[in-house]
Amino acid sequence: MPMPRWWGHVNKRVFNPRAIASGTWPVLTHVGRISGTRYRTPLDAHPVDGGYLFILVYGSRSDWVQNVLAADGARLRVDGREVELAAPRLVGKEEAFQALSAEVPRPPRLLRITEFLRMDLAAG
């Protein structure tokens, strides 16, 4: 069962600012595809060979995912450093689970998550 749409609004206005301020979550900086506004979104970023993988709890239609795909990249603040990410692409569950380390818990089946976003570390 997908998350209700209103939950995303609660996340954006209540939980996201607190998570960003705490400094404990990885934060993805991306540019709005329509507004050009710079956004910062706290996410669960998982390191994989050559980049990072993001579990799309709200699906690939989420604004942040669409922004990253349209911009062809984003910046990630993780472990006190900034990394440039490029070549965003949606991947399926099989590819995602192969890329993730065994220590990363898989999303519960009841969430029915089938899409993931993978990005490479930008060269340079």
pLDDT (tens digit per residue) in 87-105: 999 999 999 999 999 999 8
- Strands annotated E in the chain: 27-31, 38-42, 45-48, 51-55, 73-78, 81-92, 115-121
- Listed residue (82, 16, 85) closest to 48, CA to CA: 85
Is 100 within a domain?
yes
How many structural domains are present in the chain? 1
- Which range marks the domain in which residue 36 is found? 7-121
- Contacts within 8 Å (CB) and 24+ apart, 9-15: 15/42
Residue 81 sits in a domain whose CATH number is 2.30.110.10
Is 57 within a domain?
yes
Is 2 within a domain?
no
pTM (predicted TM-score): 0.80
Is 14 within a domain?
yes
pLDDT in tens, 24-73: 689 999 999 999 999 999 998 999 999 999 999 889 999 999 999 999 99
Is 101 within a domain?
yes
Is 21 within a domain?
yes
